Chains A and B, each alone.
Chain A
Amino acid sequence: MFNLTRLLQTLTDALSLGSLYALIAIGYTMVYGVLRLINFAHGEIFMIAMYIVFYGISLFVLPWYVTFALTILITALLGTLAERLAYRPLRSAPRISILVSAIGVSYFLQNLATVLFGGRPLNFPQIPLFTDVLIIGEIYIQRLSLIVPVVTAVLLLLLLLLIKRTRTGMAMRAVSRDYDAASLMGIDLNRTIAITFFIGSALAGVGAIMWGMEDTRIRPTIGSMPGIKCFIAAVLGGIGNTGGAVLGGLLIGFIEIVTVALFPSLSGYRDAFAFIVLILVLLVKPTGLLGEKTTEKV
């Protein structure tokens, strides 16, 4: 039953889903790196991006490339705005306040979307260039499944270059290493944090576009589950570590797809896999797979 064709098919699916998880997980890990904050609103930013694509293409009939560019830009700005309005004023408050604020933003965006866009699910626009099916031998593959991993790889490479080679990247690394020392060294904290949110949210926008094209019904709650899973991916890989987020995302994607393909009767439990893996990994390696050991300072 499990011949070569199906194996290849399954692996492509897994790689494609894993790359999407990875892309969103990077946003979580970056924000956590600089602010030590679980950005609960990240999943909702992802959801809003899908609605923007819908309105851009279906309502304003913009060409897809214009819509995509606009979506990524607006999403990035939205993420930065959320930081400015809801997180920055609380930077000196206890960590719990800023966490609650993040939950508040997430809840607010979800409810706002219900009112603005309606509770009824909408169809994500189909762009034949991406969604057409390729038939290679006996394997049926959507072009998208091949595009997604490539896009993720390219973006990851660019991001790593930015972090390792530019002054902004150095500032980010400094802030995530030691917040106060970085500020004493003359690094503009506000700017660095804003840039981090900008990049993380832009990646969520890219993720949303590709996720949406995999035949999605857009709902106000669509961001919550991918949001939680991708955060888990980030923790799994070692939070704060970009490579770790990618590893965690790929891992969760593979585990989900392969388990469902091998044991379809377990498919009802699909969403539980990520959590179970997380608990198991944390038991063995509390800082995640690639995480560094940190000691709390007095």
Chain B
Amino acid sequence: MTKMKKSSVVLTCLLLLLLSGALAFIDGNASQYIVRITRLCAINIVLALSMNLVQGFTGIFSLGHAGFMAIGAYSVALLTIPVAKKETIFMLEPLIAPLDTLTLPFGVALIIGGVLAAAAAFLIGLPCLRLRGDYLAIATLGFSEIIRILITNAQCVTNGAQGLKSIPKTADIWWCYGIALVVLVFIALLVSSSYGRALKAIREDEIAAESMGISLLRHKMLSFMISAFLAGVGGGLYASYIGTIGPDVFQISRTYDILMIVVMGGMGSITGSVLAAFIVTIGQEWLRVLDGPLPFLPFWPENGVSGMRMVVFSLLLLIIILFFRNGLFGHKEITWSSVGARLSALSGHAHKEVTKP
């Protein structure tokens, strides 16, 4: 057993080394477009893990991710845009003090964004977490719309519909993957702790969990707030990644994109979320081909069909939920031992085939 563990550690270190090598290669050699997608993958890992914590591990349904992202994104933007740029951006109404003369390091801004998002989660959670799960779904959905309405109307803080631009593009490949790794480790430790087991108990049966002495509200609230914090951090990374944000960036479809990742990876699977984040992000870009001309299809319009990509994408979501009900991995995790078992099963299988005749 200890031997297994030791080799797992070695293998994990090797994988990390390999990964950072690959990232360094992409950063140095690939086109800007590829680098961009690679960064987006990491941001989506953060967002998917944060959603998986409430949805997959605690079993409560929150649809407020776009709203929490917006809080994080606006915090980071307002705290990192250089003071000189702020003046030109806030042409219509000046930015209120002290934001107008304040700039903070990116990392600090990210944490502040996360904390504000968690505070918002506390406020929504208080009335809604006591109720059945569906109420939380609709209340969080409503919350993310209200955030958009507030952002649109609060001209002197958010610059309204004009949005913010010139956000420093600090979130390079290393920032994104660094944070993704920290979040990954944090969630993995969290769910394997006694606290995580309590969350899973709530997911399986609330009443049973409660009668075991688990405080439902406290656990749900903490899980919800941690998830919001991470979504806020993800939103902050996202703001730095796009460089310009506005209320239109944080529509509900953004929540759906993350939901797709979580569902595909399997609710309650960390490794599943990570893999699905890569598959969905890259897949969504690859599907862009569908929007353009497809000369080998006889009836396809010459200039392509704009929007075809999203049709296929949403159809895939449906197919996965209907036919692969538990996503790619269900509640299971990919571990070195499971990979090993799969490999030996495969070779065993091959061996059998050879010896058959």
A residues adjacent to B (C-beta < 8 A): 32, 36, 38, 86, 89-90, 93-97, 99-101, 103-105, 107-108, 110-112, 114-115, 119, 224, 228, 231-232, 235, 268-269, 271-272, 274-276, 278-279, 282-283, 286, 296, 298
Contacts and interface: CB of A to CB of B under 8 A. Distances in A.
Interface string B295-316: 0000000000111101101110
Contacts of B206: 296
B149 A271 contact: yes
Contacts of A38: 134, 137-138
B325 interface: yes
A86 to B, nearest CB: 6
Given A228-B138, A271-B145, A286 B131 contact: yes
A269 B147 CA distance: 11
Contacts of A298: 207-208
Contacts of A101: 318, 321-322
Interface in B99-145: 124, 127-128, 130-135, 137-139, 141-143, 145
B317 interface: yes
Given A115-B305, A115-B311, A286-B130, A272 B146 contact: yes
Given A111-B311, A114-B307, A269 B153 contact: yes
A97 B325 contact: yes
Interface range on chain B (Cβ under 8 Å from partner):
35 or more
Contact of B321 (A104, A114, A296): A104
A221 to B, nearest CB: 9
B307 A111 contact: yes
A288 to B, nearest CB: 10
Given A275-B139, A282-B139, 18 more contacts: A32-B134, A90-B325, A96-B61, A96-B133, A97-B321, A101-B318, A107-B317, A108-B315, A108-B317, A111-B307, A111-B313, A115-B307, A228-B141, A268-B153, A271-B149, A272-B145, A286-B135, A296-B206
B322 A86 contact: yes
B146 to A, nearest CB: 5
Nearest to B130: A286
Given A107-B314, A111-B314, A298-B207, A269 B321 contact: no
Interface of B: 55, 59, 61, 124, 127-128, 130-135, 137-139, 141-143, 145-146, 149-150, 152-153, 206-208, 252-253, 256, 259, 263, 267, 305-308, 310-311, 313-315, 317-318, 321-322, 325
B318 A119 contact: no
B206 to A, nearest CB: 7
Contacts of B207: 296, 298
Nearest to A87: B322
9 contacts: A99-B134, A100-B317, A107-B314, A114-B306, A115-B305, A269-B149, A278-B139, A279-B127, A282-B135
B59 to A, nearest CB: 7
Nearest to A112: B311
B142 A115 contact: no
Contacts of A268: 149, 152-153
A99 B55 CA distance: 12
Contacts of A272: 145-146, 149-150
A235 B130 CA distance: 15
B71 to A, nearest CB: 16
In the A-B complex, list the 6 residue pairs whose CB atoms are closest, starting with the nearest: A275-B142, A108-B314, A111-B310, A104-B318, A114-B307, A107-B314
A6 to B, nearest CB: 25
A210 to B, nearest CB: 24
Contacts of A279: 124, 127-128, 139, 142
B332 to A, nearest CB: 16
B61 A275 contact: no
Nearest to A281: B127
A282 B131 contact: yes
B311 A278 contact: no
A124 B325 CA distance: 39
A282 B314 contact: no
Given A97-B325, A100-B263, A108 B145 contact: no
A101 B321 CA distance: 6
Nearest to A32: B134
Contact of B256 (A93, A103, A269): A103
A96 B55 contact: yes
A37 to B, nearest CB: 8
A283 B311 contact: no
Nearest to B255: A103
B267 A96 contact: yes
A97 B306 CA distance: 30
Task: Pick from B153, B311, B317 the residue with the most CB of A within 10 Å.
Answer: B311
